[in-house]
Chains A and B, each alone.
Chain A
Amino acid sequence: MHRLATKYRARVERPEWAPVGIDLDRPSAARVYDFYLGGFHNFAADREMGRQAVQMWPELPEIMRSNRGFLRRAVEFLVDAGVRQFLDLGSGIPTVGNVHEVAQRRAPDAKVVYVDNDPVAVEHSQAILAGDDRTEVVQADLRDPDAVLADPTVRRLLDLSRPIAVLMVAVLHFVPDQDDPAGLVARFRKAVPSGSYLALSHATAGERADRAAEHRGLYQRTATPMTMRTREQVERLFDGWELVEPGLVYLPQWRPEPGSPELDRPERMPGLAGVGRKP
């Protein structure tokens, strides 16, 4: 009967109190990302998948680093723009150089709420963040904006009447079209006041459509399959936001640090990044 009850619940629409299953034999997008970034917060299944992906697409770790670099530069830009509240949707494992470290190094009063639906990632984040009262982690699904925005922790830490930076960095390509990613972004936009920002990066097939397809196939194994989108589709996610300079560009092109070596063929890093401001 126990087994039966589990199955019974699994398919009926899941009530809030019903648990999410934990299957460590299945790669997790959050832990695979950690592996790409040289972290050790991962298991054999995650590393196996990561290695296969790198074999297929040797630039992947560099792409991930590029994305991580964008996140850092974007957070620095936002802090400099005066933003002190960050809602990081799909935060994963807070590997080195994560949002609260970058933000609080520049502005110690910056507040950060991490949101992820991976229970292990959330548990880990909680362990790391224990004792930090300006940074919290919430287990929620960004596909349910109302639940995220109504979460008591989010409400306690963030003041929705003051500008907030909504971070959707390398996460919306895990949201399929039927879940209406543009609608989700719009819902968050409506919830935050004027002067808020959206920082977003998104996988795009770019000129490597062949590899992208294989890569997508690989992610089918995870709980979060991947959807690559075209530049036009990614631009549409910024509807209602005003893109700040330099607009929607390849990851390394977004406000590179002075003195960085000129990148040849930035399209090798097939991720698009941009920051938009709510007018």
Chain B
Amino acid sequence: MTGTRWDAPARDELARAWAEALQGTSFVALGRPELRQLTRRLADTVAAAAEDPGADIAATGEQIGQALVDAHFTDSAAMDRTVALLGRQVVGTAEDPRLPLLSGAVAAGYTRALLGVVLSEQEQIRMAALHARDRARAALQASEARFRAVFTDAAVGIGIGDVAGNILEVNPALVDMLGYPAEEFRRRTVAEFLHPEDAASVWDDYRELVEGRRESFRAEKRFFRADGATIWTQLTVSLIRGPDGDPRFQAAIIEDVTDRHRLTERLAYEATHDPLTDLANRSLFLSRLANALADPTPGARVGLCLLDLDSFKVINDSLGHTVGDRLLTAVADRLTGAVAGAGSSALVARLGGDEFVVLTRHTEPDELDQLARAVLDAVAVPVTIDGYQLAVTASIGAVDAPAGHSSPADLIRAADITLQQAKAEGSGRVVFHDPDRNATQLTLYTLAATLPGALDRGEFTVLYQPLVRLADGQLHGVEALLRWQHPRFGTLGPDRFITLAEQTGAILPLGRWILAEACRTAAAYRDALPGLLLSVNIAVRQLQHPGLVEDVTRALADSGLPPDRLQLEVTEHAVMTADPAGPPAVLRKLAELGVRIAIDDFGTGYSNLAYLRRLPVHELKLAGEFLANLRDPASADPADLHLVSMLVQLAHGLDLTVTAEAVETAAQARCLREFGADTAQGWHYGRPTTLDRVAAAPWPATGPGVS
């Protein structure tokens, strides 16, 4: 073998062939260029050994084997192909006796190197596994310690059991909570902690949990303590599954919520009970009433006895609140006793003040009747408080309705109206609800409710009814009359709402308004209707109100209407019954302004003529009742004719003019003219209408005038 045998091209050729042989035998740590670098290095090593007769073949083989393993050619195929390559390209062509040893030396070196790698990598992975396991164990211990601390020191009770219900472990808090020693828990099963009042759902949920159909549940549950007492708990049970997913254990977290529960109950009780009498309060009553009315049972009826003490205010005011309160308590006891005595499970509630209610659910209407009377009798028995023997009576408004047909509000309103009727009829009575009467009352109720805002909403208008001079049929004046354009009931006359307005006080703003409005309108027609007298009604409350004179003064001043063109109508009743220091003085002041005063509806009250004499009155208006008897003078009772004639003479004797109201026929008009009455008004002459139409009508009136 000559030195030229291992020149550069030969080495390249060996490196190329070697790279090709190794390609695909290992794990691509190297890209192709790196692989060529490696095999070139190996080829150089082989060449160097071949060219140097003194080279150590064993060491060369060792070096090559090590290099292959270092480059991760750890698959036996790499060795196989290397040995084959060396045999073909190096050993087989050489005369050097040492070279055949090279293949064996490479194999030996490769094996040693590979063994080193195997041992080292096995060592590495084993150490990694050990460390990982140590780490896991340490973490497990830490976790176990944490769990133990939580379990032992938790303020909530914790119990762990298997899915068969055997209790395996309980923490000290649970031992304290229920009072059994831990050993006793372990002898018992979960089922033994059943409480007879447990909700069925608790145990349904429990079964689903241990069967693996749910992962956890929460419930409020009672437990018996070892001492027999019952505690309330908030229970949370979670399912613990094994690695295979099967249910294995259950963990229960139990919190004692007895105090909270009692407090909640207490608060709920206080929210629904009257602190004085311990009866149900309005809120509880309303919810029970709603329930009762929602009862779908056929034939179910709901009854209410609304009860109010007749003279409670007197007792309270005269004997003091303490006695009053004790009386209310005594009445409450009587009511409860009467209801129980009647074998009824009715609810007795105090709605406030001295107002009580008994709510029944029954099927026969007369059950309510019996109960109402029993209650009335019970209250009527005198009560002795602080040595006072108090005889109290109560009034009851009773209502009975089939469930499912009324709303609670309707029923209460009906009972309220009925109670007002009972009180109006005298004390100590039961009145049963009458739907017809109630309808009127309901309308009144609605009117009363809508009245206060009606003025602001512009729902009132003023109409004018002609006052006609009987002598010549000429227009003498007009009476201003209110109309309420009610959004629900249509146009309402004063008869429908004036009493209500008086009761509610709405009459004051209303009276002030019509006065100003009518004066303004009449003043505007001064040219069209010269000398027209405007007559405006003044209600009792207005007469009693200190601002009346000022209101009249302002209405006149603002409108420019001369005072003698205004006439104020007051009822006989208002003047006669009023405090002498009140209305007469007011009337005098009004008269001093120059305003005319008319007594309206004269002859319907107990007229005190002597008193009338002293008042500054200018006119009497005969009540319509007198005229009703003269509708057909030919067939009228002579006494009635005589009465009207006498009244006209009486008025004239007192220097008063006379106006007849409600003149409906020509015969009536003729009759009045004969008697000498001054003026008349009524449908015969014209219904109330706008002042425009009054002005447009032909005067003097010959027949029915303005329509």
Contacts and interface: CB of A to CB of B under 8 A. Distances in A.
B94 interface: no
B27 A41 contact: no
B240 A119 contact: no
Given A8-B147, A119-B135, A257-B31, A40 B121 contact: yes
B140 A120 contact: no
A31 B125 contact: yes
A144 interface: no
Interface in A73-92: 73, 76
Interface in B127-184: 127-129, 131-133, 135-137, 139-140, 142-144, 146-148, 160, 168-169
Contacts of A1: 169
Contacts of A11: 239-242, 248
Interface string A1-15: 110111111111000
Contacts of A72: 28, 31
Contact of A9 (B30, B147, B168): B147
B132 A119 contact: yes
Contact of B28 (A68, A123, A258): A68
Interface string B19-57: 000001011111110000000000000000000000000
Contacts of B131: 123, 127
A18 interface: yes
Contacts of B3: none
A123 B9 CA distance: 48
B129 A8 contact: no
Interface string B93-135: 0000000000000000000000001100110110111011101
Contacts of A20: 136
Given A11-B240, A41-B121, A96-B29, A127 B128 contact: yes
A97 B128 CA distance: 20
B74 interface: yes
Nearest to B33: A257
B129 A22 contact: yes
B144 A22 contact: no
B243 interface: yes
Contact of A10 (B72, B136, B146, B243): B243
Contacts of B135: 19, 119, 123
Interface residues of B, number: 46
A17 B141 CA distance: 11
Query: Interface centre among A5, A9, A31, A260, by most B CB within 10 Å?
Result: A5
B363 interface: no
B143 A18 contact: yes
A123 B129 contact: yes
Given A7-B240, A18-B143, A40-B117, A96 B72 contact: yes
Interface string A29-73: 001000001111111000000000000000000000100110011
A97 B121 contact: no
Nearest to A67: B28
B31 A120 contact: no
B118 A4 contact: no
Nearest to A257: B32
Nearest to A62: B24
Interface in B427-470: none
Contact of B27 (A24, A68, A76, A119): A68
B169 A260 contact: no
A95 interface: yes
B127 A127 contact: yes
Interface string B234-256: 00001111110000110100000
B75 interface: yes
A138 B578 CA distance: 102
A38 B118 contact: no
Query: Interface centre among A17, A31, A123, by most B CB within 10 Å?
Result: A123
A187 to B, nearest CB: 27
Contact of A119 (B117, B121, B136): B136
A97 B133 CA distance: 27
B37 to A, nearest CB: 13
Contacts, number: 124
Contact of A124 (B72, B124, B146): B124
B27 A12 contact: no
Contacts of B122: 40-41
A72 to B, nearest CB: 6
A73 B29 CA distance: 11
Contacts of B147: 5, 8-9
B132 A123 contact: yes
A10 B143 CA distance: 11
Contacts of B142: 17
Contacts of B249: 4, 7-8
Interface string B188-217: 000000000000000000000000000000
B140 to A, nearest CB: 5
Given A11-B241, A17-B139, A17-B146, A22 B74 contact: no
A97 B28 contact: yes
A122 interface: yes
Contacts of B74: 38-39
Nearest to A41: B125
A11 B124 CA distance: 32
Interface string A223-263: 00000000000000000000000000000000001111000
A124 B125 contact: yes
A24 B130 CA distance: 10
B149 to A, nearest CB: 12
A120 B128 contact: yes
A266 to B, nearest CB: 15
B118 A19 contact: no
A39 B131 CA distance: 20
A5 B168 CA distance: 12
Contacts of A259: 32
Interface in A113-130: 119-124, 127-128
B624 to A, nearest CB: 91
A21 interface: yes
B143 A127 contact: no
Contacts of A69: 28
Given A19-B140, A19-B143, A24-B129, A40 B28 contact: no
A216 B127 CA distance: 30
A22 B133 contact: yes
Contacts of A119: 132, 135-136
Contacts of A120: 125, 128-129, 132
Given A8-B251, A38-B75, A123-B131, A95 B139 contact: no
Contacts of B242: 7, 10-11
A33 to B, nearest CB: 11
Contacts of B32: 257-260
Nearest to B130: A123
Interface string B261-301: 00000000000000000000000000000000000000000
Contacts of B75: 38
A2 B132 CA distance: 20
Contacts of A65: 24, 27-28
Contacts of B133: 22, 24
Interface of A: 1-2, 4-12, 17-22, 24, 31, 37-43, 65, 68-69, 72-73, 76, 93, 95-97, 119-124, 127-128, 257-260
16 contacts: A4-B160, A9-B143, A11-B240, A11-B248, A17-B142, A18-B139, A19-B140, A19-B143, A38-B74, A40-B117, A40-B125, A42-B125, A72-B31, A93-B125, A97-B28, A97-B29
Given A7-B249, A41-B125, 17 more contacts: A11-B240, A12-B238, A12-B251, A17-B146, A19-B135, A19-B137, A21-B136, A38-B72, A40-B117, A40-B122, A43-B125, A65-B24, A68-B27, A69-B28, A72-B28, A97-B27, A97-B30
> Closest 3 interchain pairs by CB?
A19-B139, A124-B128, A40-B121
Interface of B: 24, 26-32, 72, 74-75, 117-118, 121-122, 124-125, 127-129, 131-133, 135-137, 139-140, 142-144, 146-148, 160, 168-169, 238-243, 248-249, 251
